Amino acid sequence: MTDLQKENIMIFGSGLIGRSWAMVFASGGFRVKLYDIVKEQVTAALEDIRKQMEDLKKSGMLRGTLSVNEQMSLISGSSDLKTALEDAVFIQECVPESLELKQKIFSEIDLHVNDTTIISSSTSCLSPTKMFNGLKHVKNCIVAHPVNPPYYVPLVELVPHPETDVATVEKTYTLMKNIGQSPVKLMKETDGFVLNRLQYAVISEAWRLVEDEVISPRDVDIVMSEGLGMRYAFLGPLETAHLNAEGFKSYCERYGEGIKRVLGTFGPVPEFSGKVAEKIDEALWDQQNDKNGQLEARREWRNTCLSHLAKLKNEMKKN
Ligand code: NAI
């Protein structure tokens, strides 16, 4: 239990990610104040959260030990900034990905918080230096980048500003563990953080393989979901290599030359537009069904798969 437990968590922005954070914190027994500049958005968020929780309950996937009603009683909505910030020990910002907007919001928050409140951003790729520079409470500022949907995918990348206190990183790390997420600490910021740098390397090569007509878009996805992804759900690329030889050094000795040869054939950074984008897009739509319907259905299926995988991973950890 951290010293933050049972304290107020403020979620700043009640869109897709804000709602998910609210659910994750409530599942861990924290009181959550969900704030949004748009009043109707707060009302819609609370209704949506209840519906999501009830669906999760029905499918046996509700997180935590509290009932839906107990978790809902921990979440309150507000469109008044001062009320929402009251007693908040941890603020998770979830407004749209705009540096100017986030800078404006952090300057505002900076005026109202005390010296112990942690100010955390959900940003996917904005630099902590640019977002937090010059703030009075910069030592308390951090990025806690979730993966969509955070309710099912536990990774959180913690990225400090150069002036962030070690205590801020440690408290945030413990808090994330406490609510069942899997935090990792970046020692310094790097463009795209780590998850997206790895993801972009994969997307680029998938693009080039389709562009060079080596493989179809559907099949490149199968290489990942039925091949690499099978082990990556449990092991990272480094441990995978470690196990595929007699340790990582042995792997490098055996395969290093071959890896370097193949990497030397990788093409330039793709444009991410034009004919290849059209080809991939066309291949991914199911031509038999309406577009909106199929995206919704597929997202729902993805979430179900992820929640089952999360359950399996938890069971495997106990073994
Ligand atoms: P969203 O557009 O669904 O929600 C943003 C919310 O912020 C809206 O409810 C909006 O009314 C509110 N808002 C806008 N201006 C505001 C203001 N001045 N004060 C208070 N509230 C305000 O956005 P989403 O997808 O939830 O993204 C939020 C953050 O999370 C972004 O920084 C994004 O990069 C990051 N993120 C998003 C992921 C995703 O897959 N959607 C994954 C990981 C991080």
pLDDT above 50: residue 301: yes
> Which region among 97-106, 156-165, 261-270, 283-292 has the lowest average model confidence (pLDDT)?
283-292
Residue bearing the CA closest to ligand 1, atom 18: 37
Q: How far is the CA of 94 from the centre of ligand 1 (A)?
A: 4
Compute the distance from residue 226 Cα to the ligand 1 centre, in Å. 32
Whole-angstrom distance between the N-terminal and C-terminal Cα of the chain? 24
pLDDT at 164: 98
Q: Which atom of ligand 1 is nearest to the CA of 45?
A: 9
Question: Is the distance from the beta carbon of residue 36 to the nearest atom of ligand 1 less than 6 Å?
Answer: yes
Measured in Å, residue 36 CA sits from the centre of ligand 1 at: 10
| Span 145-171, pLDDT tens digits | 999 989 989 999 999 999 999 999 999
Distance of CA 75 to the CA centre of its chain: 21
Q: Which residue has the tokens 């069904």?
A: 289
Q: Is the pLDDT of residue 3 over 50?
A: no
The predicted pLDDT at position 67 comes to: 96
From the CA of 72, how far away is ligand 1's center (Å)? 21
Question: In Å, how far are 70, 178, 221 from 132, measured between CA atoms?
Answer: 35, 26, 38
User: Quick one: average pLDDT of 71-98?
Assistant: 95
Percent of the chain at pLDDT above 70? 98
Could you report the per-residue pLDDT of 236-262, keeping only the tens digit for each?
Answer: 999 999 999 999 999 999 999 999 999
Q: Is 14 in the pocket of ligand 1 (CB under 6 A)?
A: yes
- Best probe residue, ligand 1, of 16, 46, 158 (max atoms within 8 Å of C-beta): 16
Query: What residue's CA is closest to ligand 1, atom 9?
Result: 15
Question: Contact 16/95 with Cβ under 8 angstroms?
Answer: no
Q: For the segment 197-229, what is each residue's pLDDT rounded down to a tens digit?
A: 999 999 999 999 999 999 999 999 999 999 999
pLDDT at position 163 is 98
Query: Is any atom of ligand 1 closer than 6 Å to the C-beta of 95?
Result: yes
- Structure tokens, 272: 């991410």
Of all protein residues, the one whose alpha carbon is nearest to atom 44 of ligand 1 is 124
> Which percentage of the chain shows pLDDT scores above 90?
87
Ligand 1 atom with minimal separation from the 20 CA = 26
User: For 9-21, what is each residue's pLDDT tens digit?
Assistant: 999 999 999 999 9
Q: How far is the CA of 59 from the centre of ligand 1 (A)?
A: 27
Calpha distance 128→279 (Å, rounded): 36
Distance 143 CA to ligand 1 centre (A): 14
User: Is pLDDT above 80 for 287?
Assistant: no
> Predicted confidence band at 2 (pLDDT cuts at 50, 70, 90)?
very low
Alpha helices in the chain (DSSP H): 16-27, 39-58, 68-74, 81-85, 99-112, 128-132, 166-178, 195-211, 217-223, 229-232, 237-243, 248-263, 275-284, 291-318
How does residue 1 score in pLDDT terms, banded at 50, 70 and 90?
Answer: very low
> How many Cβ atoms from other residues are within 10 Å of residue 309's Cβ?
14
Q: Encode burial over 206-240: b for 16+ CB neighbours within 10 A, e otherwise.
A: bbbbbbeeeeebeebbeeeeeeeeeeeeeeeeeee
- Give the nearest ligand 1 atom to 14 CA: 9
* Domains within the chain, CATH numbers bracketed: 8-185 (3.40.50.720), 195-284 (1.10.1040.10)
Distance 15 CA to ligand 1 centre (A): 5
pLDDT at 5 over 60: no
